[in-house]
Structure 1
């Protein structure tokens, strides 16, 4: 999630757990703890694939953060041994302020390595977009109220209530991605399209409209849109995944790491002699967040792997795209220009449009 949300979540937890003892300072301490795991962004890597796939690693581990909380709690009690709060309460609060950061990150589609140093596929529960005002703003309002009232009893109740709201909202979003997977898969089956696997994730800033991606049996994939308020079948386009282009990268360690990190949700394109690898999980057709040039075609026609670099696309007017998403959210008759987005952003025509 975004840094503001993580800071507000940490502040809310610390305010509930320690507000009666630390006063308004609890909100500051909690905001710092809630932001702490993302300090790994300060580590510099040689290429953007490494930067992407090592982020949310050891600093987000459920093995590491409870131990860090234990050390912090011991140091605090050593410095203030006669404080009114006990070690157990202090440790529980610090631990929750830290571990809820990676847990919240795992509810996005990016990929969070909760079990580092073990290497299962990073967790991507896809219950919420990386920025969602309906999750963040109630907690932010409660924190402002707590600051204004010096964390009164009423403010602590408000903070606790927003934590419960946040949990319910994440549950709602997670159920939503399951529901829309099923809805799109049923619509495809009616048209005789079988899928090998399918995933869904909320579209920007909401949990009403979902993007659903499905792999087919013939090397293509479906990019679909489905919403809770829809009165028409899901709209979708069908595009080639281009996995045959992966042969020059099969022994490339960074490509293998990217495939692991993304759980194989990749697309490959030959764009003007550049072998572009796209993470299909984040974005919309033609407007994907993570696209990397990983090989370049030589004069003899062979591919030569290169240190990956970002492939820059002309994504057009972002504000206009968000406005179209907003209209589509409430009126399924306002279909999105998926095919034209795919053509302008990915440099080739979608195979099929519905």
Structure 2
């Protein structure tokens, strides 16, 4: 999740656990500790793909955070002996461990068991979701004004947790909605990703990776009465194999679980993480190789400029989310009335 969300989550946990003993310090300390794992972004691993795939690595690993939390808990108790040791350990453990656990629910991927496990991501919540963050933010502000506000912190944590339960429920409903359509197309076993569209849990994007094409659908958990609109995007299997032959390409395939679009442009081999963003506005595209007379020559990967999202695209998204339009075409990012098909 975004840094603000992680900070106010840490603050609410800190206030609920130790606010009785530390007052505002529990909130501020919880906010700072809650953002600690994300400081790995300042590390330069040498190439764009290395930086991309190493983020949420060791700093989000339970093998690192649990011992660190225990050490910090004992240090806190030594600094503030009036706070019971159990409270100190709960303060540091809960704040540090909930950070990667929350990140696991997003799409980016979190190496929870680094260095022995692959990235984990349930894609159940968008990286920024105001409905999750606002109760925690309100509790943080209220606690600063009128500490310790223990009931307020506990209520905010309960509301945000219930919202996560709803997000997973909505994701399950969407999966059940698209499964019959995939069965009709013989794609029952194809890799599928179901994730919320930006800032909400009412509109979801379904991505299915076939052998020669990728399917995209936009639907919601309460839209059983609407026909599914399926968009198709070509998969260049030859270029995907070329990517898999490159060391950084292998790392990218591992990190994204193969949800990539690979293209050749201006004698450069480009790989795009299609999990993040939407077609035409994916934020992570990497140059991984250059064409030579005989083959592709690997280069130290670089990231291309992030595409801009037009005001028309934002309006189309809002029209679909609000129900004004019933179809959202991802290829063109246009909102259309019910019964329309995306060409």
TM-score, normalised to structure 2's length? 0.92
In the TM superposition, what are the counterparts of 1:74-223 in structure 2 within 5 Å? Answer: 74-81=74-81, 83=82, 85-119=83-117, 121-151=118-148, 155-190=149-184, 196-216=190-210, 218-223=211-216
Q: Is the 8 A contact 1:243 1:267 kept in 2?
A: no
Provide the residue aligned with 1:348 in structure 2. none
After the TM superposition, list the runs of 4 or more consecutive aligned residues in structure 1 that deviate by more than 4 angstroms: 190-195
Specify the SS of the correspondent of 1:277.
strand
Going from structure 1 to structure 2, the CA distance change for 1:42 and 1:192 (only over 3 Å counts) comes to closer
Q: Is the 8 A contact 2:283 2:307 kept in 1?
A: no
Q: Which residue of 2 aligns with 1:328?
A: 320
* Runs of 5+ consecutive residues of structure 2 not aligned to the other structure: 335-340
Say whether the 8 Å CA contact 1:221–1:241 is kept in structure 2.
yes
Tell me whether 1:246 sits opposite 2:246 in the alignment: no
Aligned partner of 1:267 in structure 2 is 261
CA offset digits 1:50-93 (Å, max 9, x no partner): 11110001111112111111111222223333x1x211121012
Relative distance call for 1:290 and 1:87 in structure 2 (3 A) is same
SS in 1 for 2:270: strand
User: Which residue does 1:53 correspond to in 2?
Assistant: 53
CA distance in 1, matches of 2:48, 2:58: 18
Worse-matched range after superposition: 11-20 or 46-55: 46-55
**Alignment partner of 1:340 is 2:332:** yes
Return the alpha-carbon distance in structure 1 between the equivalents of residues 113 and 35 of structure 2.
Answer: 19
1:79-120 per-residue CA deviation (whole Å, 9 max, x = no partner) reads: 333x1x21112101210011111111111010000011212x
**1:13 offset after TM fit, Å?**
0.1
Q: Deviations over 1:280-302 (max 9, x none)?
A: 2111112112111111222x253
Could you tell me how far 1:179 is from its partner in structure 2? 2.1
Query: For the residues of structure 1 that align with 2:107 and 2:309, how far apart are their CA atoms?
Result: 24
Match of 1:292 in 2: 286
Q: CA deviation at 1:312?
A: 3.1
In the alignment, the residues of structure 2 paired with residue 240 and residue 188 of structure 1 have an alpha-carbon distance, to the nearest angstrom, of 17
Q: Does the CA contact (< 8 Å) of 2:316 and 2:333 recur in 1?
A: no
| Cα pair 1:38 1:59 within 8 Å, conserved | yes
Which residue in 1 is equivalent to 2:24?
24
1:109-134: per-residue Cα shift (whole Å, max 9, x none)? Answer: 10000011212x21101111000000
- The within-5 A match list for 1:35-46 is 35-46=35-46
User: Is 1:127–1:172's contact at 8 Å kept on the other side of the alignment?
Assistant: no
Of stretches 136-145 and 265-274 in structure 1, the one that deviates more from structure 2 is 265-274
Aligned-residue offset at 1:313 = 5.8
Q: CA RMSD in A?
A: 2.0
2:298 to 294, 305, 318: 305
Separation in structure 1 between the aligned mates of residue 79 and residue 247 of structure 2, nearest angstrom: 47
